[in-house]
């Protein structure tokens, strides 16, 4: 009896549940399908990263004794879809059973759920145990609660994993050391350059393929320096723990022009695709703390991002169900401005963030949340359009992690299921956290008029527009109090300034994001 084991592009882990307990006649199936590369027009670097990592992983499995059937994108007969390729492989190998790990998103899981009917094989779907909190455990945690507060979930996860715990208590006697983090970096700080990896022959072949088939997609393909093997990803992890982690927390929210990465980990593309596991990453940080190599604020801050935020976000995605993305709590309908694709805008903070993501397929958390997401929410971009943008541009973007972060945290489109208030901010916040404003054509200190930073009037306009919905939010009353104190005349001037700016916005050529077959 031949068992087919399809391994998806974000399942590149030797310890994957479907690869344990090897059946006698097992064939691993890996496929590069055009449907997945084009259902949104992913950044070229992201496609290259995944195809190259898949090809390297297939070779590693072969070296470990597996029979691997690998279908390349341009191979004759490739149907271009997961289901089409699984059906072809079942026929090719006479397989009677399929064993697969559950998909990371609803869309792909629906395909897997159709494989038994499409192929006639018996399909076994195994839970993805690379996550530290199962869907069942998350549902149990969420079940009885009125509010799904991340900090509560995180403390539960600390207890459950035993990370940074001593005799049932958090080490350092505090759960959260954020108060020690988020300093303003001194001028001229010497930031570590993250490791990059020279493309080998396999990666070069993939770069040619992506350059040919996905030329119309967003982003620069080269220079390409991502890790594409587990060994390289482990090198990136070692480097982060030794060099950047000790200062990770201190400047976590800072934005410095010309410094894309600061002390961030740059590990999300590797964890999300499976080259690294969440557990080994947090164990490495905890071990460095235990050795006295990193301070507690850094180790705790980093571990919270992984066992707290990352697991919580994934829990919400599956707990909220496939319809989560359909809500639009703030009734936002505006088209995404074209400059999210081109970077062609006088708003320097946006232009710089877009330029960076075009080159690197990366922005750090505060750029994503407080510049790009904040602006989209303030101007009222339709959630589906901004969500598609996030899914396209980042090398680490998969719907399970992109959607709750964008729909919930950044756009408040879920009405507060995930965040207790909208992450809205004016120019003063961006000025405090970045060095953009001093070089911008707008003046961050001005509130109204053509030279004023647009974030300022837009922020008040946003609060005024959504007053009925948000005014009773206990975390916003101070803001509404400030709005009232402005008085009728300044309120009118502020809203007129916001309206003039909104009228001047260009809208996006939507074909940038929606594949037109190019």
Ligand X SMILES: Cc1cc2nc3c(=O)[nH]c(=O)nc-3n(C[C@H](O)[C@H](O)[C@H](O)COP(=O)(O)OP(=O)(O)OC[C@H]3O[C@@H](n4cnc5c(N)ncnc54)[C@H](O)[C@@H]3O)c2cc1C
Residues that bind ligand X (CB under 6 A): 264-268, 271-272, 302, 305-306, 309-310, 313, 364-365, 368-369, 373, 390, 394, 396-397, 401-402, 405-406, 409-410
State the binding partner of 273 from ligand X, ligand SF4, none, CB within 5 to 8 A by kind: none
Residues 6+ apart with CB under 8 A from 6: 28, 29, 30, 31, 82, 86, 89, 98, 100
Six-digit token string for 192: 């570590």
User: Alpha-carbon distance 150 to 305, whole Å?
Assistant: 10
The total of other beta-carbon atoms located within 10 Å of residue 445's CB is 12
Q: Which is nearer to ligand SF4, 397 or 424 (CB)?
A: 424
Q: Does 255 interact with ligand SF4 (rule: CB under 6 A)? A: no
The total of other beta-carbon atoms located within 10 Å of residue 511's CB is 11
Residues 6+ apart with CB under 8 A from 507: 334, 335, 336, 337, 338
Q: Which is nearer to ligand SF4, 347 or 476 (CB)?
A: 347
Six-digit token string for 242: 């030794």
Torsional class of 355: left (φ above 0), alpha (ψ -120 to 50), beta (otherwise): alpha
State the binding partner of 380 from ligand SF4, ligand X, none, CB within 5 to 8 A by kind: none
Report the nearest approach of ligand X to the CB of residue 491 (Å): 30
Q: Does 433 interact with ligand SF4 (rule: CB under 6 A)? A: no
State the binding partner of 219 from ligand X, ligand SF4, none, CB within 5 to 8 A by kind: none
The pairing of strands 67-71 and 95-101 is: unpaired
State the binding partner of 402 from ligand SF4, ligand X, none, CB within 5 to 8 A by kind: ligand X
Six-digit token string for 319: 């707990």
- Nearest one of 116, 124, 92 to 27, comparing CA atoms: 92
Report the nearest approach of ligand X to the CB of residue 267 (Å): 4
Query: Which of 132, 294, 316, 440 is in the footprint of ligand SF4 by CB under 6 A?
Result: 440
- Asked whether the beta carbons of 90 and 119 are under 8 A apart, the reply is yes
Report the nearest approach of ligand SF4 to the CB of residue 451 (Å): 10
- Window 376-415: contact mask with ligand SF4 (x via CB under 6 A): ----------------------------------------
**Residues near ligand SF4 (CB under 6 A), total:** 14
State the binding partner of 313 from ligand SF4, ligand X, none, CB within 5 to 8 A by kind: ligand X
Q: Does 460 interact with ligand SF4 (rule: CB under 6 A)? A: no
Q: Does 455 interact with ligand SF4 (rule: CB under 6 A)? A: yes
State the binding partner of 368 from ligand X, ligand SF4, none, CB within 5 to 8 A by kind: ligand X
Q: How far from 40 is each of 43, 109, 419, 422, CA to CA, in Å?
A: 9, 17, 27, 27
Six-digit token string for 115: 């494989």
Contact set with ligand SF4 (CB under 6 A):
347-349, 427, 430-431, 436-437, 440, 442, 444, 453-455
């Amino acid at each position: 009896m031949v068992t087919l084991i399809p391994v998806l592009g974000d399942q590149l882990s030797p310890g994957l549940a479907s690869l344990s307990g090897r059946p006698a006649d097992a064939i691993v199936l890996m496929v590069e399908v055009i449907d997945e590369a084009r259902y949104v027009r992913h950044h070229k670097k992201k496609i290259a990263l995944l195809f190259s990592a898949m090809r390297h992983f297939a070779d590693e499995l072969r070296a470990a004794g597996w029979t691997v059937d690998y279908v390349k994108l341009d191979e004759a007969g490739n149907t271009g879809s997961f289901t089409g390729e699984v059906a072809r492989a079942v026929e090719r190998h006479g397989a009677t059973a399929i064993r697969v790990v559950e998909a990371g998103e609803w869309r792909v899981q629906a395909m897997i759920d159709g494989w038994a009917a499409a192929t006639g094989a018996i399909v076994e779907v195994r839970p993805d145990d690379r996550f530290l909190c199962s869907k069942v455990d998350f549902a149990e945690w969420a079940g009885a609660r009125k509010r799904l507060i991340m900090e509560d979930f995180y403390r539960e996860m600390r207890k459950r994993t035993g990370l940074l715990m001593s005799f049932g208590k958090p080490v350092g006697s505090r759960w959260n050391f954020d108060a020690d983090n988020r300093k303003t970096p001194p001028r001229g700080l010497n930031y570590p350059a993250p490791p990059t990896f020279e493309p080998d022959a396999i990666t070069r072949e993939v770069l040619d393929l992506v350059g040919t088939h996905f030329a119309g997609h967003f982003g620069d393909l080269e220079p390409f320096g991502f890790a594409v093997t587990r060994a390289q990803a482990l090198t990136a992890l070692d480097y982060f723990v030794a060099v950047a982690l000790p200062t990770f927390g201190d400047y976590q929210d800072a934005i410095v022009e010309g410094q894309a990465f600061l002390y961030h980990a740059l590990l999300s593309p590797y964890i999300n695709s499976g080259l690294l596991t969440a557990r080994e990453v947090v164990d490495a940080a905890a071990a460095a703390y235990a050795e006295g190599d990193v301070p507690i604020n850094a180790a705790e801050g980093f571990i919270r991002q992984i066992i707290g935020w990352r697991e919580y976000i994934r829990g919400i995605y599956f707990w909220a169900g496939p319809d989560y993305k359909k809500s639009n709590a703030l009734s936002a309908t505006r088209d995404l401005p074209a400059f999210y694709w081109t970077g062609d805008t006088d708003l320097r903070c946006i232009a710089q963030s877009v330029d960076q993501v075009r080159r690197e397929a990366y922005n750090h958390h505060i750029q994503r949340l407080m510049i790009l997401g904040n602006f989209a929410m303030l101007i009222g971009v339709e959630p589906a359009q901004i969500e598609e943008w996030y899914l396209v541009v980042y090398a680490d973007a998969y719907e399970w992690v992109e959607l709750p972060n964008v729909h919930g945290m950044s756009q408040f489109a879920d009405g507060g299921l995930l965040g207790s208030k909208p992450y809205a901010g004016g120019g003063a916040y961006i000025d405090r956290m970045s060095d953009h404003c001093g070089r911008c054509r707008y003046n961050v200190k001005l509130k109204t008029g053509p030279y004023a930073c647009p974030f300022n009037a837009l922020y008040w306009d946003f609060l005024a527009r959504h007053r009925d919905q948000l005014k009773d939010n206990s975390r916003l009353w101070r803001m509404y109090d400030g709005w009232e104190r402005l008085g009728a005349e300044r309120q009118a001037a502020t809203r007129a300034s916001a309206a003039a700016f909104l009228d001047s916005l260009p809208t996006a050529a939507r074909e940038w994001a929606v594949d037109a077959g190019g």
